[in-house]
Amino acid sequence: MPFSSLVDSLMQDTLGVSLPLFATELAICATIVLLLLFRLLNLDQRIPGAVLALAGSIAGLGLAVMQHLQYSQEADLVGQSVEIFTGLLIYDQFTIYLRIFLMLFLVLVVYLTMLGGIPDREDAPDFYVLLLGSTLGMLLMASANHLLIVFLAIEMTSVPSYAMVGFLKGRRQSSEAALKYVVYGAGAAGVMLYGISLLSGLLGTANLPELAQALTALGGADSALDQPSLWTLSLAILMVLVGVAFKLSIVPFHFWCPDAFEGASAEVAGYLSVASKGAAFALLVRFCLAMTGSAVPAGDLQTVFVHLGFGIGIIAAISATFGNLAAYTQTNIKRMLAYSTIAHAGYMLMAVAALLVILGSPDAPDGGAQRTEHAIRAVSGLLYYLVVYLFMNLGAFAIVAIIRNQTFSEQIEDYSGLVRQSPALAVCMLACMFSLIGMPPLGGFVSKVMVFASVFKSTEYYWPMWFILSAGVLNTVFSLIYYVNVLNYMFFKPPREHLEPVNVPLASAYGRYALLVTLPVFLLGVMVNRIDDVAYSASASLKSFSVPVVANHDNADPPRQSVRSTPAIPAPVEAATPVSGG
């Protein structure tokens, strides 16, 4: 092939295909450039950076929603995925779902920072450049199709977050938290990079779909993989997972989390707790599916995946337990919410564990006919959880920020008697807390049920998953205590006298914001199907599900179509998907 035609095809790929599908990210990039330019030309005195950032993020959200609408309007697009930028990124409904999730969250956070006055006008462009840059990294995480992008995206997410944690420059605590976060992040990144190099070295490629192929080739029935390299492989996978686990603040890679959250402002903490979680879970799901590939080979490799899944499950259970128990004695609400974040990451990780077990296990009920359906359910449960988590956690952090702006306190005991001063805020907080616990009829209940249902399904594939399930259920009970403790202060204790009373009526900007964020928590608990259908089709669009997942000794039954009105999973085409570039 002559070089010119190579360049032509590259141009065609980039300009004709990739860039239009990359519109959301481009909008963010453009906003960042504008922010910096305005700063340079002193235009930010006239147009505040916050407004610009809000406009940019709304534009990004609009573009993402348009992409979603395109999918929902054209039936033959459903389930299609496109590899863009010569296979570095992948564009499918899963990507779009996460894009909408992240952009919606970004809009809400930017609006919250506008209301709350962090950052001040002088620093605003810097702050929003960091915020948008970090979100850009997350968007890349959600659509990564290559180990290089995986690493780049995680770094791109992390580096601005370090700065954002330390953004309250005057506060010693803030700087300390930022430093801890940086060093810890660097350590985690190092480990991850090492894992990536091991993995691509072993398998000879860094492209995720190709990883699966290479694994299938290596670990076929005649197992070309000897024991030591098998263990090296598992170590490599583990190391890559560490990078993700750091972003997810999973035990034992969570140490940065309480310190960073306590040091950062509530807005930043809320941002870190939700957005990075969403992106990291998307990445984790993609990575895990790439590892298991379209067909899990029998033998040692298969047990590796089941064990990996179960191992992740155990870590998830430990995370949830640790997070919940450690939250008991916290007196600072942000620290408490940090531990709560760890616990929720644990719950969500259980869905990933269930996914791996379902895909990997040799003993499937019904001869594995429902395997794909169950796997899709596990992912869609996770996606639904993320949306609910967005609102309930952002709601909690937003209320913390609002109260901080009034009382300058973040101590739980200073929330005493809130219901008498600002009943609207107290009720919103009540809804968020109950949703975090998982009380019906709020969104937290539904999402937890979905995740636990997946874990329950996975027990049919691999019985030790019962332990994970019982740990999850038990943890729900544990978590009750510390959430209710906050409510106890807010509703039953008299207000503390030395503090400014919190005066936030529902009709104020703060009150409306709290309501805006809390209302979906109700709606997601009552009207499940709308979002769940979207989450389901997003999950079903993942490439690995487009081809039937068959363990080699199972009968190759095509996956049974689900009863619900979800897009049909395309019939099996070829065993391997075409590879473009890499």
Partner 1 sequence: MDPQTYQSTGEMLRNLLTLAWLLPLAGFVLEVFAGYWSHRLSRAAAYSAVFCIAAGFVCSFAALMYWGHQTHWSALESHASPADHHDVLKYFSGTYYTLAEFGKLRIAIDYHIDSLTLVMFTMVTLIATMIHIFAIGYMSDELTEHYEDHQVHTAHGHFHRPGRFYMFFAYLSLFSFSMLGLVLAGNVFQVFVFWELVGVCSYFLIGFYFERKSASTAANKAFIMNRVGDFGFLIGLMILWTWFGTFQFNERVESDANGRDVVMPGLFDMLRDDHGNVTVLPANDHDSYARVFLADPGHSGALKHEGHKEGKTMPYFLLVVAGLGIFAGCVGKSAQFPLQTWLPDAMEGPTPVSALVHSATMVAAGVYLAGRFYPMFLPEVLLTIAYVGCITLFMAATIAVVATDIKRVLAYSTISQLGYMMLGIGVGGWTAGLFHLITHAFFKSLMFLCSGSVIHGCHHEQEMPKMGGLIRKMPITAYTMLVGVIAICGLAIPGISIFGIKIAFSGYHSKDAIIATAMTFSQLNGSHFLLFVVPLLGAGITAFYMFRLWFYTFIGQPRDHHVYDHAHESPVVMWAPLIVLSFFAAFVAFKGEAGSLFKLLLDTEPASVAHGLHDVGLAGDLNFPSHVGIEENHKAAGLYALLVAVMGTTLAYLFYGARVLNPAEVKRQFAGVHNFLVEKWQFDILYDAAFVRPVHVIAKWFVAFDRNVLDGFLHATARTAVSIATLDRRFDETVVDGLVNLVGNVTYDAGRSLRYVQTGRLRQYVMFIVLGVVGIWIVMRLFAA
Q: Does 336 bind partner 1 (CB under 8 A)?
A: no
SS (H, E, C) 428-459: HHHHHHHHHHCCCCCHHHHHHHHHHHHHHHHH
Site string for partner 1, 80-119 (x = CB under 8 A): ----------------------------------------
Q: Does 25 bind partner 1 (CB under 8 A)?
A: no
Helical pair 93-116 and 266-292, crossing angle rounded to 10 deg: 170
Q: Find where tokens 């869905």 sit.
A: 351
Rg (CA), the chain: 23
- The answer to whether 535 touches 567, Cβ cutoff 8 Å, is no
Nearer to partner 1, 303 or 552 (CB): 303
Pick from 256, 415, 434, 462: which binds partner 1 (CB under 8 A)? Answer: 256
Nearer to partner 1, 58 or 325 (CB): 325
Q: Does 239 bind partner 1 (CB under 8 A)?
A: yes
Distance between CA atoms of 106 and 56, rounded to whole angstroms?
10
Distance between CA atoms of 359 and 364, rounded to whole angstroms?
9
CA 35 to chain centre: 27
What is the footprint of partner 1 within residues 267-296 (CB under 8 A)? none
Options 114-122, 307-315, 553-561, 572-580: segment touching partner 1 (CB under 8 A): 307-315
- For residue 529, count other CB atoms closer than 10 A to its CB: 10
DSSP 213-257: HHHHHHTSTT----HHHHHHHHHHHHHHHHHHHHHHT-TTS-THH
What is the footprint of partner 1 within residues 171-230 (CB under 8 A)? 179-180, 183-184, 187-188, 191
Q: Does 258 bind partner 1 (CB under 8 A)?
A: yes
Nearest to 360 by CA among 383, 378, 347: 378
Distance between CA atoms of 317 and 469, rounded to whole angstroms?
9
Q: Does 463 bind partner 1 (CB under 8 A)?
A: no
Q: Find where tokens 């992740």 sit.
A: 312
Q: Does 152 bind partner 1 (CB under 8 A)?
A: no
- The answer to whether 47 touches 128, Cβ cutoff 8 Å, is no
At 83, which helix (H) or strand (E)? strand 82-84
Which amino acid is it at 258?
A: P
- CB 307, min distance to partner 1, A: 5
- The answer to whether 376 touches 553, Cβ cutoff 8 Å, is no
Distance between CA atoms of 534 and 520, rounded to whole angstroms?
16
Pick from 259, 373, 532, 554: which binds partner 1 (CB under 8 A)? Answer: 259
Q: Does 362 bind partner 1 (CB under 8 A)?
A: no
Which amino acid is it at 3?
A: F
Site size toward partner 1 (CB under 8 A) is 35
Pick from 140, 178, 288, 327: which binds partner 1 (CB under 8 A)? Answer: 327
Q: Does 234 bind partner 1 (CB under 8 A)?
A: yes
Nearer to partner 1, 326 or 398 (CB): 326
- CB 259, min distance to partner 1, A: 7
- CB 16, min distance to partner 1, A: 43
Options 6-14, 39-47, 306-314, 554-562: segment touching partner 1 (CB under 8 A): 306-314
Distance between CA atoms of 49 and 38, rounded to whole angstroms?
8
Q: Does 333 bind partner 1 (CB under 8 A)?
A: no
Options 60-68, 303-311, 391-399, 411-419: segment touching partner 1 (CB under 8 A): 303-311
Nearer to partner 1, 248 or 327 (CB): 327
- The answer to whether 319 touches 250, Cβ cutoff 8 Å, is yes
Options 160-168, 237-245, 449-457, 518-526: segment touching partner 1 (CB under 8 A): 237-245
What is the footprint of partner 1 within residues 477-506 (CB under 8 A)? 478, 481
Q: Does 328 bind partner 1 (CB under 8 A)?
A: yes
Pick from 52, 89, 326, 487: which binds partner 1 (CB under 8 A)? Answer: 326
The contact set with partner 1 (CB under 8 A) reads 179-180, 183-184, 187-188, 191, 231, 234-235, 238-239, 242, 246, 252-253, 255-256, 258-259, 303-304, 307-308, 311, 315, 322, 324-329, 478, 481
